[in-house]
């Protein structure tokens, strides 16, 4: 067999109309790379960004094989990779750091300025097979199903990296999480609860997706809407919160989180949706000793730790609807369903 099935972004446009399921040549692992037979891969907004030329997907050149977070089994290795890796279950860390800059050498790969992304800068894993650098094929902990690993490998390490960047977290202190119903937001709520904080989930509307609380549910505050935020804070944090995390990337929620900060408060932001600028009052920023922290991507250490937390049940990840590879276009359509609950997955093979 020389060919395989793949989901290809063919032409620019909004939504999944530019996606095609095509037969393409099988990839061959080069030096330092592994070949993975894909079990499952997520349908991500980033993939649609490659079609619409927006966000991190704007770096893509079409035609492009999409799929940033495949999970499966290594079936072949390239030169220089230990043959024992063949047969192991792995999930792909989407970001490939350069490996040589000062941040990479310090193990802070999330801050590497020369990262490439699987499914953006090189062929992705929405296909029967995918080739990635050996190190990006991260072992899946025993007992963790491949689809769950795929659903976790992007969002949970990003949340861990945000918490790491935020610095000190005091036991029992209220911490705001805007966009708490999404994948990164859910992970943040659960990681913060596990770290001893009291996360306050903020959601668009009461009926807009449940907030996942995980095993630390008792430490998680009542979910509040943006309209009800100021009122809720007068009770729980009248002097403002010391720490806030935004998982929406939208100016409105970020501004609400920024306004909720108390003395020496820190706000960590991990995404940008739309192009609305954020207005910051410089007097408030410096006089109140505030910090606005940008975070993106994750360290290899975040990926290992995040997968271990999911395998241990400390962080629960919701797997939503699954679609066959042939129905990949429907998977991307399901992404924008407001009633969807959990990560949309493409099931490639068992």
Smaller CB distance to Zn ion: residue 110 or 181? 110
Query: Interface with Zn ion by CB under 5 A: which range of 94-102, 174-182, 217-225, 338-346?
Result: 94-102
At its nearest, how many Å lie between Zn ion and the CB of residue 38? 27
How many residues are there in the chain?
350
**112 is a contact residue toward Zn ion (CB under 5 A):** yes
Smaller CB distance to Zn ion: residue 16 or 97? 97
Q: How many residues bind Zn ion (CB under 5 A)?
A: 5
Query: Interface with Zn ion by CB under 5 A: which range of 41-49, 104-112, 147-155, 335-343?
Result: 104-112
**296 is a contact residue toward Zn ion (CB under 5 A):** no
Kindly state the DSSP code that residue 11 receives in the 8-state scheme.
Answer: S
Restricting to residues 304-343, which ones interact with Zn ion according to CB under 5 A? none
**110 is a contact residue toward Zn ion (CB under 5 A):** no
**104 is a contact residue toward Zn ion (CB under 5 A):** yes
Smaller CB distance to Zn ion: residue 101 or 194? 101
Inter-CA distances, 176 with 40, 104, 253, 314, Å: 33, 30, 11, 20
At its nearest, how many Å lie between Zn ion and the CB of residue 13? 33
Cβ–Cβ < 8 Å for 149, 155: no
Smaller CB distance to Zn ion: residue 114 or 284? 114
Kindly state the DSSP code that residue 9 receives in the 8-state scheme.
Answer: E
**133 is a contact residue toward Zn ion (CB under 5 A):** no
- According to CB under 5 A, which one of 98, 106, 230, 278 is a site residue for Zn ion? 98
**105 is a contact residue toward Zn ion (CB under 5 A):** no
Residue 245 bridge partners (DSSP): 177, 268
φ, ψ dihedrals at 108, nearest 5° = -105, 60
CA distance 212 to 214: 6
At its nearest, how many Å lie between Zn ion and the CB of residue 265? 30
**101 is a contact residue toward Zn ion (CB under 5 A):** yes
Residue 77 bridge partners (DSSP): 34
CA distance 193 to 220: 6
Q: Which residues, including other chains, have CB under 8 Å from residue 226's CB and lie 6 or more apart?
A: 178, 202, 204, 252, 253, 256
| Dihedral sign of CA atoms 298, 301, 307, 313 in order | negative
Q: Residues interacting with Zn ion, by CB under 5 A?
A: 97-98, 101, 104, 112
């Amino acid at each position: 067999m020389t060919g395989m099935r793949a989901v290809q972004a063919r032409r620019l446009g909004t939504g999944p109309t530019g996606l095609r399921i095509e037969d393409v040549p099988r990839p061959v692992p080069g030096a330092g790379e592994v070949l993975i037979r894909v079990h499952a891969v997520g349908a991500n907004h980033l993939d649609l960004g490659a079609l619409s030329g927006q966000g991190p997907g704007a770096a893509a050149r079409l035609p492009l094989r999409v799929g940033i977070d495949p999970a499966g089994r290594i079936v072949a290795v390239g030169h220089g990779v230990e043959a024992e890796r063949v047969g192991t279950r792995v999930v792909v860390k989407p970001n490939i750091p350069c490996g040589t800059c000062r941040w990479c050498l310090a193990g802070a790969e999330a801050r590497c300025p020369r990262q490439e992304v699987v499914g953006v800068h090189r062929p992705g894993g929405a296909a029967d097979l995918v080739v990635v650098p050996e190190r990006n094929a991260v072992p899946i902990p025993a007992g963790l199903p491949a689809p769950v690993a795929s659903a976790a490998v992007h969002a949970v390490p990003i949340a861990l990296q945000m918490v790491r960047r935020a610095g000190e977290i005091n036991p029992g202190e209220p911490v705001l999480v805007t966009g708490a119903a999404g994948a990164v937001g859910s992970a943040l709520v659960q990681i913060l609860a596990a770290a001893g904080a009291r996360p306050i989930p903020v959601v668009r509307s009461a009926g807009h997706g449940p907030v996942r609380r995980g095993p630390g549910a008792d430490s998680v505050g009542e979910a509040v809407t943006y309209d009800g935020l100021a009122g809720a804070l007068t009770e729980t944090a009248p002097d403002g919160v010391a720490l806030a995390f935004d998982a929406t990337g939208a100016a409105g929620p970020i501004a609400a989180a920024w306004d909720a900060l108390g003395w020496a408060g820190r706000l960590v932001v991990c995404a940008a949706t739309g192009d609305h600028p954020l207005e910051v009052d410089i007097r408030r920023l410096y006089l109140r000793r505030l910090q606005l922290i940008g975070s993106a991507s994750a360290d290899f250490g975040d990926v290992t730790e995040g997968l271990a937390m999911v395998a241990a049940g400390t962080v629960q990840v919701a797997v939503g609807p699954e679609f066959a590879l042939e129905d990949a276009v429907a998977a991307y359509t399901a992404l924008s369903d407001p009633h969807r609950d959990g990560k949309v997955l493409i099931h490639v093979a068992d």
